[in-house]
Amino acid sequence: MRRSTLLVVGSWYTIGLCLGIGLGVGVMVTGIFGSSVLGVGAAAIAGAVIGAGIGVAIGDAAEVIAGGIGGFLGALSAAAVVHGALRRGGTRLGVAAFLGIIGALICFAALIPVAGYVEAVTIPVLAARMRGRQAARFAGLRTLAK
């Protein structure tokens, strides 16, 4: 039955699906473990392994590779968000909850044809742009007191 589904939809869809789901899982794992540099490394490895496992469940070798790459890219891209939010005073639980929701939305968006490929390009690019524009810790109302 799995082969008949691939013939109707095409392997391009399942590769993009595994890529997008891997990205979402990588973002979620980084939200949980990404508060330190070692945690980001562990999240990148875990995201790649979980993404590859999703690829095994969905398809063949191309899906396994796409899921692993997606998990790795998602974890590294989300690390910029985690480190920036924690530096500005965010809590670990809040950042983990935020990235969990974002990761789930990325996984759901991957169900749309071609969206997994678009996510795989845009998410790392946005993370790289955000890393260059990180501001200092939020001053709050202290700036108004002067």
> Would 65 be classed as within a structural domain?
yes
Taking the mean position of all CA atoms in its chain, how far away is CA 87?
20
Confidence of residue 79 (pLDDT cuts 50, 70, 90): very high
Mean pLDDT of the chain: 86
> Would 138 be classed as within a structural domain?
no
> Would 88 be classed as within a structural domain?
yes
CA angle 108/134/43 to nearest 5° reads 45
> Would 13 be classed as within a structural domain?
no
> Would 38 be classed as within a structural domain?
yes
Phi/psi for 39 (5° steps) reads -65, -35
Average pLDDT over residues 83-102: 90
Neighbours of 111 (CB within 10 A): 13
Position 143 scores a pLDDT of 58
> Would 6 be classed as within a structural domain?
no
Domain that holds residue 34: 18-131
Each residue's pLDDT tens digit, 119-145: 999 999 988 888 666 555 555 555 555
Position 144 scores a pLDDT of 56
How far apart CA 37 and CA 106 sit, in angstroms, is 24
How far apart CA 46 and CA 40 sit, in angstroms, is 10
Confidence of residue 75 (pLDDT cuts 50, 70, 90): very high
> Would 46 be classed as within a structural domain?
yes
Q: What is the maximal distance between C-alpha atoms in the chain? A: 70
Q: What domain count does the chain have?
A: 1
